[in-house]
Amino acid sequence: MATRLVDLASRTAFFRGVSPTAVEALLYRLNAVEKTYRKGETVMHAGFRADRLMVVVSGRLHVYDQVEDDRSVLLRAIGPDEVLGLWILHVPEIPCWPGSIVADEPCTLISLDMARARALATAHDPEIVRLAFNASRILSRELFTTWRKLVVMDAPTLEARIRIYLSELANETGNRGEVVVPFNRERMAEYFGVARPSLSRALSQMRDQGLLTWRKNVFQIKFQGSSC
C-alpha cells in the first residue's frame, strides 16, 4: 500500500485513532484508491450503483437531488472528514445513489469497496470497532445536517429561512457572531429554493434592518439566534 494513501487516510476522521499499521491493512482489505476531481466534475451520478464509500480528504462537494421537470435541488455541502455513502453502507437494500454529487472545488477522496466494508462491519477486531465508532460520529453529523435543512425549509418566509440557517451554523461552530457559509450566492439561493435576485433582496433588507452584514461568504450576525 502506497505511503501517500496511508498518510491521507490517517488524517481523516474516519480513520482517527487507528494505528498507521492498521490503517494500511484496512486500506488493503477495503481495496482503497485515491481519487481526485476538478471543480464542476461529477463524482457520483444519481441512479448509479452504490458500490463505493468515498472518504473526503480535501475540498468541498455539493449534493443535489433530482426533482420533477429535471430540476436539481441543492441539499447540502460536504467537506473534509465526511464520508459519501456512509448511510447506504447500513441500508444495503438501497442499491443506487439517490442524488448526484458534484465537486464545488478541486477535491481528493479515498474510494473504498462498499461490499468489503459491510463484511468488515461484523468483525470484532478493536481497530474495526474504532472505525465503527468514527463512522457513527460522522453519520450523526450528517443526520444533523439533514435535520437542519428540513427545519430551514419549513420556515414560512425567506428571511426566516436565512435567520434559522445562520443561527444553526453559529450554534454548530460555537461562534455566535460570525459564520462561514459553504456556498456562493448562486448555490446559497439554490439551497433556499429561490432565485438569486430574491436572495439578494432578502439579504439587503436584513442588512438595512441591522440584522447582519457580510463579506463574501462570511456573515456577521447581529440578531438573536436560537440556542441549544
Q: Which residue has the cell 447500513?
A: 90
pLDDT for res 228:
40
**Radius of gyration for the alpha carbons in the chain, expressed in angstroms and rounded:** 19
pLDDT tens digits for range 197-206: 999 999 999 9
- Mean pLDDT on 172-188: 86
Give the residue among 174, 175, 179 at the shortest CA–CA distance from 163.
Answer: 179
> Alpha-carbon distance 131 to 133, whole Å?
5
Residue 44 burial (C-beta neighbours within 10 Å; 0-12, 13-18, 19+): buried
What CATH number does the domain containing 202 carry? Answer: 1.10.10.10
71 and 122: one domain? yes
| 45 and 123 belong to one structural domain | yes
Which amino acid type is present at position 78? I
- The per-residue pLDDT for range 21-34, each reduced to its tens digit, is 999 999 999 999 99
Domain span at residue 60 reads: 3-135
- The whole-angstrom separation of Cα 112 and Cα 89 is 11
Residues 118 and 42 in one domain: yes
Average pLDDT over residues 141-153: 87
Residues 6+ apart with CB under 8 A from 227: 171
Its pTM stands at 0.81
Higher pLDDT, 70 or 57: 57
Question: Is residue 140 in a domain?
Answer: no
Residue 95 sits in a domain of what CATH number? 2.60.120.10
Share of the chain above pLDDT 70, in %: 95
The single-letter code of the amino acid at 157 is T
Residue type at position 169: L
Backbone angles phi and psi of 195, in degrees to 5: -75, 155
Confidence bin at 109 (pLDDT 50/70/90): very high
Location of C-alpha cell 472545488: 105
End-to-end Cα separation, the chain, in angstroms: 44
**CA–CA distance, 214 with 221 (Å, rounded to integer):** 9
> 73-97: per-residue pLDDT in tens?
888 899 999 999 988 887 878 889 9
- The DSSP output letter for 49 is B
Alpha helices (H) along the chain: 3-10, 20-29, 86-89, 114-120, 126-153, 158-173, 185-192, 196-208
Q: Do residues 32 and 123 both lie within one domain?
A: yes
Tell me whether residue 226 is in a domain: no
Q: Report if residue 143 sits inside a domain.
A: no
Of 116, 153, 102, 99, whose CA–CA distance to 29 is shortest? 116
